[in-house]
């Protein structure tokens, strides 16, 4: 009863590894061909396993998409939490995170958006897709108490990501930071810096 869920090299561990490999393969497919390209066959081929193995771990395609979106969301959640718990400028950290969507993080951000859009139609995906916005809101809540300022920052963050991903908008962190600061510090009567 000592090793319940994480025996170092049991069958469970091997199974979890396979599971993770299949999820990674799914994200690779979403990145390359879009969510529409995700099938048990394409995923299995990408992962280098038999088609049946994908159905063994994920009975339905929805299960697979939910797991994939969860995986992406987890990464972003960890990044934002790192910013929140860190000592640096939180708004600047968010700006840099958003600006990454134009560079190395572009593919992952695109996959996240693709899966999020899918969430509008698949209830199982909705709560996971909500996490990104909730995370940004939580970060914003450490900078202001004004609910509208929080909503404005969330909207600005999302819109900036869209602009960068779809419109190839400029992604200079300083530029992004200024737009975000604008949403946060409107002429609501207050002038001094927060926190």
| Residues binding its own copies (CB under 8 A) | 33-36, 110, 113-114, 116-121, 126, 129-130, 133, 148-149, 151-152, 154-160, 162-163, 165-167, 169, 175, 178-179, 181-183, 185-188, 191
Q: Which is nearer to its own copies, 19 or 105 (CB)?
A: 105
Q: What's the min distance (Å) between Cβ of 38 and its own copies? A: 10
Q: What's the min distance (Å) between Cβ of 102 and its own copies? A: 13
Alpha carbon distance 67, 38 (integer Å): 13
Q: Which is nearer to its own copies, 30 or 53 (CB)?
A: 30
Q: Does 130 bind DNA (CB under 7 A)?
A: no
Alpha carbon distance 120, 88 (integer Å): 35
Q: Which of its own copies, DNA, none is residue 41 near (CB under 5 to 8 Å by kind)? A: DNA
- Tokens representing residue 181 in the block: 């600061």
Residue 16: C-alpha distances to residues 7, 23, 121, 188 (Å):
11, 11, 29, 51
Q: What's the min distance (Å) between Cβ of 96 and its own copies? A: 17
Alpha carbon distance 18, 98 (integer Å): 31
Degrees, nearest 5: CA angle 110-129-48: 55
- Tokens representing residue 184 in the block: 């946060």
Instruction: Please report, in angstroms and rounded to a whole number, the separation of the first and last CA atoms in the chain.
Output: 48
Residue 151: C-alpha distances to residues 8, 110, 144, 174 (Å):
45, 23, 11, 21
Give the one residue of 4, 6, 9, 145 binding DNA; rule: CB under 7 A: 9
Q: Does 186 bind DNA (CB under 7 A)?
A: no
Give the one residue of 20, 32, 34, 50 binding DNA; rule: CB under 7 A: 50
Q: Does 11 bind DNA (CB under 7 A)?
A: yes
Site of interaction with DNA (CB under 7 A): 7, 9-12, 14-15, 18, 38-42, 49-53, 55-56, 59-61
């Amino acid at each position: 009863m000592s090793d319940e869920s994480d025996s170092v090299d049991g069958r469970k561990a091997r199974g979890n590894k396979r599971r993770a490999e299949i999820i990674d393969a799914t994200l690779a497919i979403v990145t390359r061909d879009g969510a529409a390209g995700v099938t048990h066959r394409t995923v299995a081929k990408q992962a280098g396993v038999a088609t049946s193995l994908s159905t063994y771990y994920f009975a339905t395609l929805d299960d697979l998409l939910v797991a994939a979106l969860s995986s992406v969301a987890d990464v972003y959640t960890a990044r934002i939490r790192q910013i929140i718990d860190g000592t640096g400028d939180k708004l600047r950290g968010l700006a840099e995170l958003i600006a990454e969507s134009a560079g190395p993080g572009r593919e992952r951000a695109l996959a996240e958006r693709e899966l999020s859009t899918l969430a509008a139609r698949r209830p199982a995906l909705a709560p996971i897709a909500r996490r990104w916005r909730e995370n940004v809101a939580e970060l914003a809540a450490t900078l202001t108490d004004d609910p509208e300022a929080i909503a404005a920052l969330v909207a600005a963050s999302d819109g900036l990501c869209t602009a960068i991903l779809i419109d190839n908008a400029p992604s200079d962190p300083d530029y992004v930071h200024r737009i975000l600061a604008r949403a946060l510090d409107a002429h609501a009567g207050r002038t001094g810096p927060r926190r």
